[in-house]
Amino acid sequence: MPTFSRGFHGRRVDVDPARVPPGQYVTRDFPVLSAGPTPHTPLDEWSMTISGAVDQPVSWPWEEFLALPSETVTVDIHCVTKWSKLDTTWTGVSIDTLLDGVETEAGYVTAWCDGGYTTNLPLEDLIDGRAWIAYEYGGERLEPVHGGPARLLVPHLYFWKSAKWVRGLELREDDEPGFWEAYGYHNYGDPWKEQRYQGD
């Protein structure tokens, strides 16, 4: 039985409510959540690395990464700070492409980033066309404040899992909480189950 808020009527925006997870509101802005300063890594020092429980780590410098087959996807994104943004368009490299030919027993992944940020995900959430390393947003280069030059994009989970400034994926056999996960945020973060914080 919900507690009604006396005098509150709310302001529904003109979107299909089935696209908005519980507790979220739709924004046209693009707010930012991050804990520390925005890193500015020069592109000639940038690379994307797959490491950990793999036979052979593999790494792509920026130019080689851009030359990989890319995909453009339009998805809804949901931040744990309550905003959702619908129909956002991103271009990047599918994780399936990066893992093509990689043999692993790993069940989990730690995404690690410039600036020291990490986040953890089950490997199965990153494959089968559900996750990308994105370097364009809305047809433009991804701005540093939003995670550029490249960020992880995992739209079916709360957006802190879509790590900004990502530099590598470490494949792991065990699950290690990342930055926000160690500060009490949910380990998995499904917005449709409102898994914001530990215990949700």
Partner 1 sequence: MAPTPIAWQLATVRDVLVETPHAKTLVLDVPGWTGHLAGQHVDIRLTAPDGYQTERSYSIASPPEDAALALTVERLDDGEVSPYLTDELGPGDELELRGPIGGYFVWRAQDGGPLLLVAGGSGLVPLMAMVRHRAARSSTVDTRLLLSARSSGDVLYHDELARRAAGDGLAVHRTFTREPPAGWCGFARRVDADMLSQVGPPPSQRPRIFVCGPTPFVERAADLLVGLGHDTAAIHLERFGPTGGERS
Q: Which of these ranges, 19-27, 44-52, 94-102, 154-162, lies near partner 1 under the rule CB under 8 A?
A: 19-27
Backbone angles phi, psi at 144, to 5 degrees: -55, -40
Spatial neighbors of 176 by CB under 8 A, at least 6 apart, are 108, 110, 120
Q: Does residue 12 interact with partner 1 by CB under 8 A?
A: yes
In the complex, minimum distance from the CB of residue 92 to partner 1, in angstroms, rounded to a whole number: 20
Full strand arrangement of the beta sheet holding 47-52: 58-61, 47-52, 166-172, 108-113, 118-122
> How far, in Å, are 98, 122, 174, 193 from residue 133 at the CA level?
9, 16, 23, 25
**Span 83-112, contacts to partner 1 by CB under 8 A:** none
Stretch that binds partner 1, among 60-68, 129-137, 168-176, 178-186 (CB under 8 A): 178-186
Per CB under 8 A, 43 contacts partner 1: no
Q: Does 146 bind partner 1 (CB under 8 A)?
A: yes
Among 6, 56, 139, 140, binds partner 1 (CB under 8 A): 6
| Count of residues of this chain found to bind partner 1 when the rule CB under 8 A is applied | 42
Question: Among 19, 57, 74, 82, which residue sits at the site for partner 1 (rule: CB under 8 A)?
Answer: 82
Nearer to partner 1, 52 or 122 (CB): 122
Residue type present at position 6: R
Minimum gap (Å) between residue 59 Cβ and partner 1 = 24
Which residues, 6+ apart, have CB-to-CB distance to 84 below 8 Å? 19, 20, 21, 24, 25, 26, 27, 76, 77, 78, 191
Stretch that binds partner 1, among 25-33, 119-127, 150-158, 161-169 (CB under 8 A): 25-33
Side chain identity at residue 135, one-letter code: Y
Show the beta-strand stretches assigned E in 35-114.
47-52, 58-61, 71-78, 83-94, 108-113
Binding of residue 116 to partner 1 (CB under 8 A) = yes
What is the binding site for partner 1 (CB under 8 A)? Answer: 2-12, 22-25, 27, 29-38, 81-82, 115-116, 143, 145-146, 179-180, 183-184, 196-200
